[in-house]
Structures are given as C-alpha cells and as structure tokens.
C-alpha cells in the first residue's frame, strides 16, 4: 500500500509551492487535488513540462490526479453536460499519462432527475460518460477511480458506497475501480468498515483518508487520528484483503497551515504497523509494511501533444 498526500492542505498555494511544501515534509507521492489550479494545466503559470521537472527535482512522484468538479452550467442539455464532463475527464487522463500517474479520481454527477439508479441503464443518467472515459483511459494506461461523496453533495452519485459499486460493476475491472473516501462515508452516516464490506475490495484502487466524527454527519477532512474513524481496524481489514493500492491523506487545514498534515503523518508514523526505519526516519516512506512486492515505477510518458497550446495565467 502506498502512502500518498493530496495537495489539498496547500490548495490556496500555486502548485509549485504546494509541491515544495509537501517535499519539505518528506512526502514521496502526491495526488493533485480537486481544485482546478492544482489539476488543470491551463491554470498553471508553469508548463506541464516544467511541473514535471520540478517534481523530479524534488524527488516526488505524481501518484494520481483528482478530476476537478465541473460547475453545472445552466441552460444546457444533459447530453451537453455529459460531453463537457467527459472532455474534462479525458484532459485529466492526458495529464495523468503525462505525469506518470496511475489513476484519476472521479466524482460522478447525476443528470436531471436520475436519482433512482435502480432503473437501468445506470450509465446513461450520469456524467461523465464512463464507458467512453474508460475506453480512453485504457488507451493511456490510466485507471479511473470513482469516489463516494458526502450526503451534502447534491446531484452527485455515491453517498451510499454501494451505489458506486453498482456503477463500477458493468465497467471493465482493469480500468475502472473505486476510491473510498472514509471521511465521506462517515459524513453520510456509513461506517467505513461496513462500507468496505459492501464493495468488491478487488475493485478498490484508493482510500481517501481524513478523519471525521460519526455523530455530526458533516463533511470534514480532519487530521487522521483526531476523529473516531477506527484506523487500526481499517488497516487490518485492508491488510487482510492484501490491498495494494493507494492510501491518500486528504486533510483540510485550519488556522495553522500544515498542521493537519503533519499531525496525520505523525499519527501514521506512531502506529506499530509501520516499519521501524520509517518511524526513525524524518522522511515519509511510500510503503506500509504489509505492502508486499514493490509496484513497478511508471515514468512520465511525455505525451507532449496534449499540452501543445500555450499555458498562461495562474488564478
């Protein structure tokens, strides 16, 4: 299992600064967070090539990229909304392939009144077009990981993790899986351990890890260890299934910038399941002790065609 840090805690910073801060904390793998100025090259002052050079210089790897949430434009048809969303997903897949990231994290939007997903065909009532996105992702060697959401996110699918499973099921397992956000589970009233039981764990690509309080039903990304998520039991469950995917620390910062992340890292370092060298080292290793064989490193594939247009402003 790979320990990864989302750039979310530093989402107000420009991407290069966020990456430098993470590298300074010893982070080896990052997920570019959902914010457009971290995950859409058009929002970067630097070119993707420059970002990739920076990442290499800092000794970190772009593990995954979170597709930004598209605003629902008013007065357009559902077909058009699905088309725009699919295009955004394809752009993120291009970026992931360019950076050598192995998967993208995708929220699924419900179109129109398609709340009743027991009615087939499920895939017609959501955006992006997942069949098309999966086909495209397969050509680029990138996976899609569909994320469950907190109940508060209206018009999004997957407050119930089982719903995400229902959407993933008809899609190719080699390309489409699940990103289980445990804080979102709690915010929707689900026990993360029950949620893991309700899905095919072989389709689990990634865990989004932040803490939360089960009696509050609100979406919080608190430091790991500060809420009531049973982390030890969660790791035991993942270990028992031989989970080899990513464990992405996705915490939001409060007043003290960087503290939520350092507190989370400290909590993980203190767990007995970490290898002794990890506990002694100021640098965060990328693997947990039960990770088994190391996964093959994927280098940036430099698909420059995707980024041929000039990249200008930073917002």
Print burial letters for 15-29: b (CB count within 10 Å at least 16), e (below 16).
bbebbbbbbebebbb
Of the pair 130, 178, the CB lying nearest Zn ion is at 178
Shortest distance, CB of residue 11 to Zn ion, whole angstroms? 13
Of the pair 163, 250, the CB lying nearest Zn ion is at 250
Shortest distance, CB of residue 268 to Zn ion, whole angstroms? 17
Shortest distance, CB of residue 10 to Zn ion, whole angstroms? 16
Shortest distance, CB of residue 139 to Zn ion, whole angstroms? 26
* Structural contact between residues 168 and 131, judged by C-beta atoms closer than 8 angstroms: no
Shortest distance, CB of residue 4 to Zn ion, whole angstroms? 12
Of the pair 6, 291, the CB lying nearest Zn ion is at 6
Shortest distance, CB of residue 150 to Zn ion, whole angstroms? 9
Q: Which two tokens stand for residue 233?
A: 């039991």
Of the pair 148, 291, the CB lying nearest Zn ion is at 148
Q: Mapping DSSP to helix (H, G, I), strand (E, B) and coil, where does residue 55 land? A: helix
User: Residue numbers of the site for Zn ion (CB under 5 A)?
Assistant: 181, 208, 250
Question: Which residue has tokens 């027991």?
Answer: 118
Helices (H), the chain: 15-24, 36-39, 48-58, 78-99, 130-140, 161-168, 182-187, 192-197, 231-240, 259-270, 276-280
Residue 184: which residues within 8 A CB-CB, separation 6 or more? 147, 148, 149, 150, 159, 208, 219
Number of residue whose CB is nearest Zn ion = 208
Q: Which two tokens stand for residue 276?
A: 């002794």
Sign of CA dihedral 54, 103, 107, 242: negative
Of the pair 218, 283, the CB lying nearest Zn ion is at 218
The DSSP secondary-structure symbol of 209 reads E
- What is the DSSP pairing of strand 176-181 with strand 143-147? parallel
Q: Mapping DSSP to helix (H, G, I), strand (E, B) and coil, where does residue 66 land? A: strand
Of the pair 35, 181, the CB lying nearest Zn ion is at 181
Shortest distance, CB of residue 247 to Zn ion, whole angstroms? 12
Of the pair 159, 311, the CB lying nearest Zn ion is at 159
CA distance 103 to 62: 10
Of the pair 100, 150, the CB lying nearest Zn ion is at 150
Shortest distance, CB of residue 147 to Zn ion, whole angstroms? 5
Identify the burial level of 57 via C-beta atoms within 10 angstroms of its C-beta, where 0-12 means exposed, 13-18 middle and 19 or more buried.
exposed
CA distance 130 to 123: 7
């Amino acid at each position: 299992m790979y320990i990864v840090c989302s750039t979310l805690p530093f989402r107000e910073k420009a991407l290069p600064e966020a990456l430098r801060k993470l590298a300074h904390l010893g982070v080896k793998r990052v997920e570019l967070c959902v914010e457009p100025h971290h995950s859409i090259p058009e929002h970067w002052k630097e070119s993707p090539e420059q970002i990739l050079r920076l990442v290499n210089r800092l000794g970190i790897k772009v593990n995954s990229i979170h597709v930004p949430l598209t605003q629902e434009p008013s007065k357009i048809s559902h077909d058009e909304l699905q088309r725009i969303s699919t295009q955004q997903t394809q752009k993120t897949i291009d970026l992931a392939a360019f950076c050598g990231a192995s998967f993208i994290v995708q929220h699924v939007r419900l179109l129109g009144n398609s709340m009743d997903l027991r009615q087939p065909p499920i895939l017609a009532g959501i955006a992006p077009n997942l069949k098309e996105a999966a086909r495209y992702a397969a050509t680029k060697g990138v996976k899609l990981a569909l994320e469950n959401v907190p109940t508060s996110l209206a018009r999004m699918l997957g407050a119930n993790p089982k719903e995400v499973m229902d959407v993933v099921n008809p899609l190719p397992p080699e390309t489409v899986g699940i990103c289980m956000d445990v804080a979102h589970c709690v915010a929707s009233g689900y026990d993360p351990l029950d949620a893991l039981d309700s899905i095919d764990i072989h389709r689990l690509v990634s865990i989004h890890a932040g803490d939360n309080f089960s009696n509050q039903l609100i979406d919080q990304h608190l430091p790991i260890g500060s809420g009531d998520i049973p982390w030890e039991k969660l790791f035991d469950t993942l270990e028992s299934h031989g989970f080899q995917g990513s464990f992405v620390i996705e915490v939001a910062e409060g007043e003290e910038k960087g503290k939520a992340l350092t507190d989370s890292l400290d909590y993980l370092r203190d767990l007995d399941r970490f290898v002794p060298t990890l506990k002694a080292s100021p640098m965060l290793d990328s693997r947990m002790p039960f990770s088994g064989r190391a996964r093959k490193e994927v280098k940036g594939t430099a698909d420059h065609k995707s980024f041929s247009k000039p990249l200008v402003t930073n917002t």
